[in-house]
Structure 1
Amino acid sequence: MSEVTVRQLAETVGIPLDRLLSQLSEAGLPKSGAEDTLSDEEKIRLLSYLRQRHGKGDGETDPLGPRRVTLKRKEVKALRQGRTGGATKTVNVEVRKRRTYVKRTEATGLTPEQLEAERARQALEEVKRQRELEEARRREEEEARRRAEEEAKRQAEEAEEEARRRAEEEAKQAEEAAAEQEEAVTEAPPAPEEVPAPQPVVEEAPKPSPKKAKKKKEEEKRQRPARKKLEASDQLLAAKARKRRKAKETVRQPVAPQVREVVIPETITVAELAKRMAVKAADVVKTLFQMGQMVTINQVLDQETAALVVEEMGHKAVLQSAEDLEQQLIEQATQPLSDEKPRPPVVTVMGHVDHGKTSLLDYIRRTRVAAREAGGITQHIGAYQVKTDHGRITFIDTPGHAAFTAMRARGAQATDIVVLVVAADDGVMPQTKEAIDHARAAGVPMVVAINKIDKPEADPERVKTELAALEVVPEEWGGDTQFVPVSAKTGQGIDDLLEAILLQAELLELKAPTKGSARGVVLEARLDKGRGPVADVLIQAGTLKRGDAVVCGEQYGRVRAMLDENGKQIKQAGPSTPVEILGLSGVPNAGDELIAVKDEKVAKQIAELRAEKAKAKRMAAQQAAKLDQVFAKMEEGEVVDLNLIVKADVHGSLEALREALTKLSNDKVRVNVVAGGVGGITESDVNLALTSNAVIIGFNVRADAGARRLAEEKGVEIRYYSVIYDVIDDVKKSIKGMLAPEMKERIVGVAEVRQVFRHPKFGQIAGCMVKEGVVRRNLPIRVLRDNVVIFEGQLESLRRFKDDVTEVKAGMECGIGVKNYNDVREGDLIEVYERVEVEAED
């Protein structure tokens, strides 16, 4: 430190000059003026005096912290692995070592002058920081005052604008009243001819008699209304003349017809459609009548018909789907999310049965979760938030990867990190491999916890080697996966595991908005006998409060109660917080999205829309990618990903199939083997195929009953083979398009229209005679006139006499109602046909 003047020190510290001179005098350092200099020793004496006056002694611990030096070393080793058939494979493994040295500076190693100088520097920085805080507070007060002034100014401008608008409205009303008065005068009957007023007599005349004077007054009284009407007529003519002059001065442009964008939902009434086009409902009814449809203003139109009406009346139709309507309702009923802050990571624990997943969580939470479950096995999904010394972590304990994949199949992305638990004494098991496949399909990072290292037969190196063969390579071997040896029984390595999870979370930089309408995902739901529908929800964004109206999948309601994982009532929950909520109208599905809305009425409307959409989806079963669909996509010019899941009887066949199928990729089709395994096809494989849009290939293996039932329900394709070359040839043919199916039409029956009549209930009915084949009610039809197709559609009704029938054979009479078509004429032919899929030949 160098010498400074008293003025410079006052400016640096940020205090008045007089105050600093007073403090110097009290400290025994009298300075007469602002230009006097201060040495380092004088500044230290001033600092010591100030510290003693504020109750701080000189024996406090020195704030200087330790210094660290980290040394890194790296070397490459060759690791040889054996293969089937005696061949070996050499893998270069990079071993990295890091050692950190900490050097602490002893207090006795510093001179008193250095210590005092350091303390003086820190004291000056503290005073300067306080000064900056005061300055920031002053700026905030000025900003608040400025905003208040702007708000007052804005309110004054709004009041002035409102007064001006009212004055204009009053002036407009006065003009309209004057115009109405003018119209009333115009419509009045013409005034009688004006009687010439008597001329004044210059010469003196004799005084009229009283009888004549009375008669004269009566005549003037009779002519008075006529005079008033004449004056009003003159005023009206003058006003019209002024308007004509003003019209000549101002040239008005013609107004073009206004074209509106009319939003049309899937169904809409005639009255609502007229309202959206800003026209009379009678005009819409007239247009529909001209198009051949007799409707009323309360009749419901389909989207296609409404669009035709809108275009016919010169407007632009904008079709609105159920998804758009649902999204619009959600946007109107929710508050935007804001104020992003870091959130705890959501960790899913997966692994093989009895490898210690729940026991590991039990030790972390310090509760006896496993003791309350049947046989110590997790029976349902449970979520728990743990407060550690390193931060908060939300754990999701699953009964296996099946539930994890089932949630992903519904679109739930609730997991940030997967902790793969592998027993050190058991090694990698089949469910361990499946867990790795599911974690990779989810696209989330993994942390491997090698459990049960306290057992004598534990072999962590064996676990690392087996996982490295599955391309899960430890960091110390040059990979990107953290391996942490732990013991759920003794607690060994638990802190290291938590540090590894939090380190991975820091790399992900997890953040979520805390303000706005809450959003979350359902982890599990059940129907409680005493409490009704209960849902375990993981909040992902916003803050959920007790009493909020929510919509959850196809269910809705209001949050009557909200509990944490310990059953304690809470009032609100932020991001990454698992809660149990009560008050829903029904039991939602695992993976359903929860959204908080402003009104319970809107929540009910959204839930009903979703229920209708789900019903439509159930009508058309969900289809996975079929091999037969590959060629159709190739013709469109897009690159197709053909995902396969291969299950074989032995490991050698699995590897051979994996390599052979992967080599079949070309410029138009990429063949991806998503997962593979040894053994039968299970429900987990079907779920994985559903989420990854894959086809399952079974080589010398079969699917169990549950997997077959699930595959049939979800539309997942399973193909069985016993020869490797058959698998390869089948996929090759699929890629070349040789398996593309051909669709052909087959005429089932033809009916001739003999007479057309109208029914008051069913509309137009065609009396027909079936000439060929059979007319079936559920098949598509064509209406032919002079052997030309004029309409394609469906049958509305099929009757024989007064009975509804499903089919009518040749030579029989029937009554046919054509759906959405009212122009069937005598002599027309109604052709019934069906589409048949014919497999292509090699």
Structure 2
Amino acid sequence: MSQQTTIRKLAALVNTPVEKLLEQLAEAGMEFSDPDQSVTSTEKVKLLGFLRRTHGKGDKAEDAVAPKKITLSRSRKQELTVGGGRNRQTVDVVVRKKVTLVKPGAKGDGTEKSATPENDEQAEILRKLEESRQRNLSEQQRLAEEDKRRAEEAAARKIAEDEAERLRLAAELAAAAAPEEDAAGRKAAGHGHGHGHPKPARSDDRSAPKHKHRGSHAMVAGVEDDENAARFAGQLHLSASERARRSSARPKSRNRRQVEQARSGSGEHGFSRPTAPIVREIAIGEAITVADLAQKLAMKGGDVVKALFKMGVMATITQSVDHDTAVLVVEELGHKAVPAAPEDAESELIAHVGEAQGETAPRPPVVTIMGHVDHGKTSLLDYIRSTKVATGEAGGITQHIGAYHVETDKGTISFLDTPGHAAFTSMRARGAKLTDIVVLVVAADDGVMPQTMEAIQHARAASVPLIIAINKIDKSDADASRIKNELLAQEVVAEEFGGEVQMVELSAKTGQGVDALLDAISLQAEVLELKAVPDGRANGVVIESSLDKGRGPVATVLVQQGRLAKGDFLVCGVEYGRVRALFDENGGQVKDAGPSIPVQLLGLSGVPEAGDDFVVVADERLAKEVASQREHKRRELRLVQAAGNRMEDVMAQMGEGEAQQSMQLVIKADVQGSVEALKQALTALSNDQIRINVIVSGVGGITESDANSAAASRATIIGFNVRADASARKVIDTNQIDVRYFSIIYDVIDQVKQIASGVLGTEIREDIIGTAEVRDVFRSSKFGAVAGCMVTEGVVKKSKPIRVLRDSVVVFEGELESLRRFKENVEEVRVNTECGIGVKAYNDVQPGDQIECFERVEVQRTL
């Protein structure tokens, strides 16, 4: 192998300046312009011959006179790395060596040094050094050869891969450009070219990388080649193979075709850009937070907030939005919204209820007594039960739903007694949904009233058959035919008029016609063929609920399917528990209750809301999970309702400004139904002048927490059939909170109106008391312009302020300076009377003007 080196390295080895070496090469007939150009061994020999001839020595051996003594000087420079990390340093080590060789048999002047070492120890050291140098040289040559071989193989593989990729792309382009009828054939041909075995590299390709041949220089004997010195370059602890591997790890520059392949996704590891927008199916429940919605859409939360803002909904990323709003924003963003699957616990509960179904059997009817206030609903039920229920009610008015079941000659009948006051609309609606038959009580001496018509609407909405009980038929002014005619106006047609509604005339006081009513109820029940599953796990609905201080949460429930027994686990709305005891309407304990039987149960974790469904389950775990999930869902919906994040709502509140007053209320009642009725009745009193807010409401006595809430918000506490405990009274007295106790809902509404009127305060109102028309204007040296007027309306008083109107436009407002009747000063002038009026500080009164006299009065604002 021929060895090559550069002019710069050669000058360093022979200890000659680079410029001088270039001049010698030029004189020898070899032109070099750059010190980094390579010099071959042949050129070195040529230069050596030229230098010998220059010094008088011939090229031939016989012409050359061999020297008697030759002195060789060697200087070798190394770089050593010492330490590590921050203390790492590079140290230059220079080794100089001088050897004098004497030709055998030559005689010197006594100053020559023999090449033979002075002792055997020095010779051994030199020998070992030479062996070590040879071993290092061989190892470096072997590693360099391996690195070059690997580089050649990698280059060959790269060439083959590029060629295969080029063929594959050419085949795809040809297949895309071909007609449809022969597209498959051309694609197959392109596939064969593109995926065949790569073309083997030619021998000249493999030899493309140039090799650096090692060899000895002919200039100076025993001098190391520059490749051997290269192994000391850089850090000493890195071998040549490691340096080659590190250099190959650097990112290689790509040509334009490779960049385009990477961008278009055609490369092996390129990103595949989607050809169409990705449409996702987003499962949405009743409510969802903006953050969860953004995660499901794979979008940033800010983008979803922007989309909501464009739709007029102002919500932060942590707020919840309702189902409809979420569906709209999902569709607006180009995705598809689907209803969320029910929770696992809810699904398990549904399966649980399905397993409990069995054979059905006839059940008693559930009858709801409805009607206007004081038409005799509770009195009728009282007669049927032979008890005095109405006398126990406050003011003789039913304040909540009462549930009873009665054993009659016609069989067992369950009755629900609903309030008749206008505030209890939700109670009557709930009673109509629970019932099988509605008995509408109408007083024969009063007629069809607003709550009567409302009860008819509730019965129609629930698709429940109606029976009309015309009560108080024993009174002298009773007129049953008038009642029937008034009901015709409500499209309630009696059977005797060709309709389908049974009408029974009765008297709850004397008992007249009550048996006929029971017969009508039994007949209607037979027509309906009412059936239910008598055994198995029970389910039903909450009629009423309350918080008893000694017994805890108490719920009055109506069993609709199955049998409810003591010890059952049940979930009731967002509450759960185990039945500790069951009571009938008379307060007696019972072991169980079947379909259509109302009972009171103890053992729930909290007070359920009236109208909630209850289901008996196998264990407490399932009941607790279902209640927890329902509470979480209800809390989300409550947050959505309380957010007020509609832009229209915000703008409406901004428009109201400070003109609208607010009144805060804390409502506590004995039963849940009364709480609902009070909230609806009192918040309905709100208008443009005042807003009534119920900040706290609940069942049970007034607690210390309720009093603190009222103190913090300066609210009035309404106690309906409940009282404040000792700790609450302390807070009430300390903060001087306004507390009102009531037992009749009429009084609650009237007093809240009075309180709200006090909050509104008073207003100044202007009342026009008289008008005078100016007929002529006279000039007076004392009073200036005096208007001769005729009082056309009311009375003009001197002590009251006036306005001057011209063409129905106010041109001056002030007071009277003088009011005369002929030449006398008077205090007032009545209608159709002439007078002279002097307007103070105004002299521009003209004929045809009107002088309006008014007074300001302070009026209390009311609802």
What's the TM-score, normalizing by structure 2? 0.36
